[in-house]
Structure 1
Amino acid sequence: MSYQNILSEVKANILYITINRESKLNALNKQTLAELADVISFAAKTEEVRGVLLTGAGEKAFVAGADISEFSAYSTEQGEDLARSGQVNVFDAIENSTKPFVAAINGFALGGGLELAMACHIRVAADTAKMGLPEVTLGLIPGYGGTQRLTRLVGKGRAAELITTADMITAERAEKIGLINHVVPQTELIGKAEEILNKIKQRAPLAIAAAIRAVNAAVNEGVNGFEVEIDEFGKCFGTQDFKEGTGAFLEKRRADFKGR
């Protein structure tokens, strides 16, 4: 697929994805969502990719929301289809990816932009970034998993307040309430995200994938996370990486994991 609205490049086992609509504050339109779905699928099936760094072009916006002009005349059925396809193909696909996604939030992360960041496994923000879910000002609610993921991250009371007031919060406040992992100066943002991914990519890839599945199970209703953990733990014993990791530990050397 030829991309018009995103940039993608694999360097040193990290897939860099940049939403490249700076003049539109990197807003998510249909084409951008389709391109994101395609590159997320690429990450999942490409062995070379050990982690993904997702950011927005420029310093003003990560993603300032969805492209409202595309859906302002939608019917009830079209609105439901919009949310369902976006959640399945992009937002859930990121959360359920066995490759860790780190969001580098370089500016405004509003509406669908904050939902995109919340779908990632780890979030780093520039100290100038601001976040919020302003959908109720349009007569809507978040439709890409925002009500669920925000509640899991910050708790019911804070999520209800942020969504119903449509207030924006600073990166500092977002870190304090557990919405993001780290706040750094804008100039250090990509470096911090890379630092995290460079640590992760030194670890056993199959164990990383198992850990993501187990952590996700902790917040999925109807799933016994403890049983998922036991199952994933057991499966690790059958991998070459387990043999390599334990062997390296006993031999006091650095492990060379192959993801097998």
Structure 2
Amino acid sequence: MSEHLISERRGAVLHLRLNRPDRRNALNTALLADLAAALGTAAEDGGVRVACLVGEGGHFAAGADIDEIAAKGSAEGAADPRKAAWASIRSFPKPVVAGVEGSCLGGGCELMLMADLVVAGQGATFGLPETSLGLIPGAGGTQRLTALVGRARAMRMILTGERIDAPTALDWGLVAWLAESGADEAAALAERLAGRAPLALAAAKRAVIDAAEGPLAEGLVAERLAFEALLDSADKAEGIAAFREKRAPVFEGH
């Protein structure tokens, strides 16, 4: 656990809580580095199957740390260590479930867009207001938001800085579920995912990302290669055996 990130392992789930409540969990360099490091360690830990990400103090993350951004020019931006942290977070190979409460804005919204499954609390608010600061989203927001909600809605949110509520986010496909408590439901969902076949979950995640972010032909090839690799896995054999025997499978991740 670090000053800005609370990390707790419960069974096969790594629970991560952004912990700058006095700044509505604004993503400064230290917090992003801690998050990237925690996920990097979890990626190599066979006992961790799922990560669950939430925010402390009633908010997910209200954006980047404005004080840090204000001090950067183009040269500093090009050498910004945050770029490596963002890349590391995005490359985490296991499922990430995000539970969103309160503000999910700017860099916080971009972090949410990197999650694989998002549960929004009823009071959650989403937005990419960077153009109001004379900037644009710089951690994939223009690309991932457009892929999820389409060009017209992405333009609406990014050019105007408009914030949308949780029901609208669900209707637009920005989140997968609404719940009374996004954080609690995300934790429960992560626990359910942890009982599924870890190799298959990782392969499915990669295939869906390839479909969303790459050309169709490349995605189809990657999907088939992943499928064929799983045919030799013990988890596949266990899953089929459990189905035939009408029992719950016990997956070991190999």
* TM-score normalised by structure 2 residue count: 0.95
Q: Distance in 2 between matches of 1:236 and 1:46?
A: 20
TM-fit CA distance, 1:98: 2.1
Q: Secondary structure of 1:109's partner?
A: strand
Answer yes or no: is 1:124 the counterpart of 2:127.
no
After superposition, residues 144-163 of structure 1 pair within 5 angstroms as 144-163=139-158
After superposition, residues 68-147 of structure 1 pair within 5 angstroms as 68-82=66-80, 85-90=81-86, 92-147=87-142
Q: 2:235 aligns with which of 232, 241, 259?
A: 241
For 2:29, the equivalent position in structure 1 comes to: 30
Q: Distance in 1 between matches of 2:193 and 2:200?
A: 11
Q: Distance in 2 between matches of 1:104 and 1:17?
A: 10
Q: Distance in 1 between matches of 2:174 and 2:79?
A: 28
For 1:221, the equivalent position in structure 2 comes to: 214
Report if the CA contact (8 A) 1:150-1:159 is conserved: yes
Q: Distance in 1 between matches of 2:203 and 2:89?
A: 15
TM-fit CA distance, 1:117: 0.5
TM-fit CA distance, 1:122: 0.8
- Which of 128-137 and 193-202 deviates more? 193-202
The alignment covers a number of residue pairs equal to 253
TM-fit CA distance, 1:77: 2.2
Gaps of 5+ in 2: none
Q: Secondary structure of 1:38's partner?
A: helix
Q: Secondary structure of 1:62's partner?
A: coil
Report if the CA contact (8 A) 1:96-1:216 is conserved: no
TM-fit CA distance, 1:250: 2.0
Q: Distance in 2 between matches of 1:116 and 1:41?
A: 16
Gaps of 5+ in 1: none
For 2:201, the equivalent position in structure 1 comes to: 208
Report if the CA contact (8 A) 1:87-1:145 is conserved: no
Instruction: Please identify runs of 4+ aligned residues in structure 1 that moved more than 4 A.
Output: none
Report if the CA contact (8 A) 2:54-2:99 is conserved: yes
TM-fit CA distance, 1:231: 0.2
Deviations 1:69-127 (A, max 9, x none): 11213221222333xx434423x434432211111111101100000001100111111
Taking only aligned residues, the RMSD between alpha carbons, in angstroms, comes to: 1.5
Deviations 1:185-215 (A, max 9, x none): 2xx3233112322221121100111101111
Letter in 2 for 1:48: G
Report if the CA contact (8 A) 2:15-2:53 is conserved: yes
Answer yes or no: is 1:5 the counterpart of 2:4.
yes
Report if the CA contact (8 A) 1:53-1:193 is conserved: yes
TM-fit CA distance, 1:130: 0.8
* TM-score normalised by structure 1 residue count: 0.93
Letter in 2 for 1:26: N
Report if the CA contact (8 A) 2:100-2:183 is conserved: no
Report if the CA contact (8 A) 1:64-1:110 is conserved: yes
TM-fit CA distance, 1:42: 1.6
TM-fit CA distance, 1:220: 2.4
Deviations 1:156-192 (A, max 9, x none): 110011000001111111111111111112xx32331
Q: Distance in 2 between matches of 1:17 and 1:103?
A: 10
Identical positions, percent = 39
Q: Secondary structure of 2:14's partner?
A: strand
